[in-house]
Structure 1
Amino acid sequence: MTSAPPTFTPENIPTQQRRKGGEIRAVCLDIDDTLIDYTTSARCALSLLVGDDGAWSVWQEITEEYAAKVIAGELAYEIMHRERTKAFFASRGERLDDAEAAGREHRRKELLDQQWQLFSDALPCLDWLRGSGYKLAAVTNASGRHQRAKLAMLNLAEYFDHVLIAGELGTGKPDPVIFHTACFMMGVEPAETAHVGDRLDADAIGARDAGLRGVWLDRAGCAPDAPPEGITAITSLADLPELLVCDLSLSVPRPR
Structure 2
Amino acid sequence: MIFDLDDTLFDHTTSASNAIRTWFPTLGVTFTDNLLTKWFEIERVNFDSWLAGRLTHQGQRRGRLVDFLPVIGQPVPATDAELDEIFAGYLDHYRQNWAAFDDARPALEVARSNGWRIGVLTNGSTLQQHAKLTAIGLAELVDIVSTSESLGFSKPAPEAYHLTCEALGVEPADTMMIGDNLELDVLAARRAGLTAHHLDRSAGITLALLIRRTGSAGR
Give me the TM-score of the superposition, normalised by structure 1.
0.77
1:182 to 157, 164, 172: 164
- Cα-to-partner distance string for 1:65-97 (whole Å, 9 max, x where unaligned): 111111111211122212212211123332321
Residue identity matched to 1:101: L
- Cα-to-partner distance string for 1:159-204 (whole Å, 9 max, x where unaligned): 1111001123222111111101101111211110011000111111
Could you say what the CA RMSD is over the residues aligned between the two structures, in angstroms?
1.6
Q: CA deviation at 1:210?
A: 0.8
Cα distance in 2 for partners of 1:182, 1:164 equals 6
Structure 2 residue 58 is matched with structure 1 residue 69: no
Structure 2 residue 194 is matched with structure 1 residue 218: no
Structure 2 residue 98 is matched with structure 1 residue 119: no
Checking the alignment, whether the CA contact within 8 Å between 1:206 and 1:214 is kept in structure 2 is: no
Cα distance in 1 for partners of 2:208, 2:132 equals 23
Residue identity matched to 2:112: R
Residue identity matched to 1:42: A
Residue identity matched to 2:58: E
Structure 2 residue 79 is matched with structure 1 residue 96: no
Q: CA deviation at 1:239?
A: 0.6
Corresponding residue number in structure 1 for 2:210: 240
Q: Which has the larger radius of gyration?
A: 1
1:56 to 33, 36, 53: 36
Give me the TM-score of the superposition, normalised by structure 2.
0.90
Helix, strand or coil: the match of 1:220? helix
Checking the alignment, whether the CA contact within 8 Å between 2:10 and 2:132 is kept in structure 1 is: no
Corresponding residue number in structure 2 for 1:156: 138
Corresponding residue number in structure 1 for 2:60: 80
Cα distance in 2 for partners of 1:146, 1:241 equals 26
Q: Which moved more, 1:237-246 or 1:170-179?
A: 237-246
Residue identity matched to 1:235: I
User: What runs of 5+ residues in structure 1 fail to find an aligned partner?
Assistant: 1-26, 222-233, 250-256
Helix, strand or coil: the match of 1:138? strand
Q: How many residues align?
A: 210
Q: CA deviation at 1:213?
A: 0.7
2:153 to 167, 171, 175: 171
Residue identity matched to 2:21: S
Residue identity matched to 1:243: R
Cα distance in 2 for partners of 1:245, 1:28 equals 14
Corresponding residue number in structure 2 for 1:197: 179
Residue identity matched to 1:204: V
| Identical columns (%) | 35
User: What runs of 5+ residues in structure 2 fail to find an aligned partner?
Assistant: 25-29
Cα distance in 2 for partners of 1:78, 1:147 equals 15
Checking the alignment, whether the CA contact within 8 Å between 2:98 and 2:135 is kept in structure 1 is: no
Larger helix proportion, structure 1 or 2? Answer: 2
Corresponding residue number in structure 2 for 1:147: 129
Q: CA deviation at 1:118?
A: 1.3
- Cα-to-partner distance string for 1:129-164 (whole Å, 9 max, x where unaligned): 111110111001111211111111122111111100
Residue identity matched to 1:91: V
CA pair 150-71 structure 1, distance change in 2 beyond 3 A: same
